Amino acid sequence: MQFKLSDIGEGIMEVTVKEWYVKEGDKVSQFDSICEVQSDKASVTITSRYDGFIRKLYYDVDSIALVGKPLVDIETEAGQVEGPQEDVVETPAVSQEEHTHQEIKGHKTQATPAVRRLAMENNIKLSEVVGTGKDSRILKEDILNFIARQTGAILPPAPFQEIRPPPPAAVAPSTPAAKPKEKTSPPSIPTPVIPKPVFTGKDHTEPIKGFQKAMVKTMSAALKIPHFGYKDEVDLSLLVRLRSELKGLAESRGVKLSYMPFFIKAASLALLHFPILNSSLDENCTNITYKAAHNIGLAMDTSQGLLVPNVKNVQMLSVFEIAVELNRLQTLGAAGQLGTADLTGGTFTISNIGSIGGTYAKPVILPPEVAIGALGKIQVLPRFNHKGEVVKAHIMNVSWSADHRIIDGATMCRFSNLWISYLENPASMVLDLK
C-alpha cells in the first residue's frame, strides 16, 4: 500500500521531512511513528495507519514531500484495507485519520475513543492538546479547556481542591553524641561551554524552507507598512516585589510565574481603551477590522527559529491563567510541537528580547496586525523618588512599533502610558480586572 501524505490544513501543499523513525524492512503497527515533517507553520509527527512492513521510503531527510503523494510503501496482510486507496487528499475538517494518526513527537497520543470523537467533532488535532491524565493521557476536560481557550467560552468551575503547602522536611533530633557537621568546600563552578565557530572551508548553498520560508514571506509583507516607533522606560520595582510574593504560590500549583503574564494582561487592559491597536487593515487599505478577542502573541526563540504563538482571549483570562497557557506554549515550543492553532490568529504581539539581552529594539509588525512591542532586560539603576532621593529601581525599556497609516503618535503614546501605569502600580490592575 502507498501511504500518502494527507492534507495538514492551512493550504499547505509541501512539507520538509525532518526525521525518519523507520527504515526499509522495519515492522510497524498502527500508531507507530513513521516520520516528522515540518511546514512553514508547524511540525507534525506522522504515524502508521496499518500493520505491516516498510518496503520503501520516498524521501530523504530534509527533502520536500508533497501533500497527496506517497510517503512510504507498507506491505500489509490481505483484508486490512477495504478497496484501493484513492489518490485524494483528505480534508482536515472531516478526516478521522488526521486526528488519529498525528501525535506529539516521540510519544503516542493516548485518548479514549470518546475523547477522540469529541476532538474530531470540534476539528481539533490531538497533537495540539496537552494531556493532564496519567502518562499524559488526554482527558475530556483537556479537550473542553482547549475549546474554551480557542473560542473564549466560559466553562463551569471545577470542584474546589485545597492547595496544601508541601510538608516540612523532617529534622533529625539532636543528641549529645551528635557530631558537628564538617565544613564542606563550596561546589565547583562549572566551566562555561563556549561554542566553537562553524567553519566548513567552502561556501555552500541551501534552500530556504520551513519556518524560515514563512519568515521571508511575512517580513517581505511587513516592508509595505510605514512603521512609527515610540520608546519609553518602566519602573517595575513594585511589580518585582509583587511577583516575588506570588511566585511561591504559583509554584505550589505547578506553574512557573514570570513577568510576562503581567505584561500581557496589562496590554489587554490597555487595548480595551485603545481598540484600534487590536485591529487589522485589509490589503487595499479601505477597511479596518476591530478584533473582539485579544489574542496576544509572544515572540519565542526556538531551535526551529523565531515563532510567535499567541495566548487566546487574554481579555477573559486572569494573570494566573495566562501563566498556565504560557507554560504550555513554552513546553510545546521547546519540543518543536507548536500547532497551527497556537501560531495563527494573533491580534497583537509582544517580543521579550530582553530575555536574551539588550535594552531598546525596533520591532517589526507582523501583518495583518498593526502594532508590536519589544521589551528590554530589567536593570537595577539609580532613580529619584518623589522626595528627590536617589533610590534603587528596577527599570525596563519598551519599544513600540505601530502602523502609521491608521495609528498616530498620540494614540501610541497614550496606550503606552496606560500600559506603564498598570505595571508601575500593579494594584491598579485589580480595579479593571474582569
- Select which of 87, 273, 282, 408 is catalytic: 408
CA 195 to chain centre: 27
CA 166 to chain centre: 30
> Phi then psi for 267, rounded to 5 degrees?
-65, -40
> Beta partners for 74?
54
SS3 145: helix
> Phi then psi for 177, rounded to 5 degrees?
-80, -5
CA distance 107 to 51: 18
Q: Which of 73, 130, 143 is nearest to 103 (CA)?
A: 130
Judge contact between 421 and 413, C-beta under 8 A.
no
Q: What is the DSSP letter of 30?
A: T
C-alpha pair distances (Å), 4 with each of 38, 97, 127, 192:
16, 12, 19, 47
Q: Would you call 408 a catalytic residue per the annotation?
A: yes
Dihedral angle sign, alpha carbons of residues 62, 63, 68, 74: negative
Q: Which of 338, 434, 336, 352 is nearest to 398 (CA)?
A: 352
Dihedral angle sign, alpha carbons of residues 211, 212, 214, 218: positive
Q: What is the DSSP letter of 172?
A: P
Q: Which of 363, 332, 367, 335 is nearest to 350 (CA)?
A: 363
> Phi then psi for 132, rounded to 5 degrees?
-110, 0
CA angle 329, 330, 336 (to 5 degrees): 90
CA distance 99 to 153: 23
* Identity of residue 95: S
- Select which of 32, 51, 404, 432 is catalytic: 404
SS3 395: strand
Return the H-helix or E-strand segment holding 378.
strand 371-384
Q: What is the DSSP letter of 16?
A: E
- Residues 6 or more apart in contact with residue 429 via CB below 8 angstroms: 262, 265, 266, 269, 422
Q: Which residues are catalytic?
A: 404, 408
